Amino acid sequence: MERLTIDTLKAEAKTFGEAETLHHERSLYGVTDGKAVGTYLEHKFQQYLHTKYEYLEGSSAKGIDFPELGVDMKVTSIRQPQSSCPFKSARQKVYGLGYSLLVFVYEKTDDENAKTGNLNVLHTIFVDSSRTADFQTTSGLRRIVENSGNADDVIAFLHERFLPIDDIQAQELAEEIVATPPELGYLTISNALHWRLQYSRVIEQAGQVSGL
């Protein structure tokens, strides 16, 4: 068996999404819980990959789904394309999550006669780790640095954005931002106990910018 790579993961995700769109599943009939749908699709994709590739499968307890590749898998409905992920530090909003995302975006329908559910996989998007920061935060910070802003300007902006950091962390982060401006991210990341990731912009921009 060959080893799983980023390129084969991307290709297989596309193939799997197309096949799943044609599949009608009895166990999904009447299911409205997004978490249950996500678990179904994630497990099925992992089973599919294990028949063809050698790789280490992660878990929610271990962190991300493909730890050797630095990729986490997300499954979300087109009605509200979002998910949560563990909060590590405020830096993630500026410099990215620290890993890439493989996002399946589906639309679910039920067949009353056949008593089956169908997941129409509308988008299969790979978000490179360099693009997993928050769009408004990174675009604002890049503007400040381009306009010769200093650490004080950056700190004021970070506080305006209500980043969950104390004064010492803000100072350290601001100095890092001035020295190394972040890449433009394409997620919308909301502050919470867990980060809330929203994918509308990723869906809009997929295939048009590098890293998406």
pLDDT given for residue 61 in this prediction:
61
pLDDT for position 9: 97
* Confidence (pTM): 0.91
pLDDT of residue 95: 97
The pLDDT of residue 62: 63
- What is residue 196's predicted lDDT score, i.e. its pLDDT? 86
**Structural domains for the chain:** 2-87+99-132+190-205 (3.40.210), 135-179 (no CATH)
Averaged pLDDT, groups of 10, the chain, 212 residues long? 95 96 94 92 96 87 86 94 86 95 96 94 96 96 95 94 89 96 94 81 85 82
pLDDT of residue 186: 95
Q: How far apart are CA 23 and CA 99, in angstroms?
A: 30
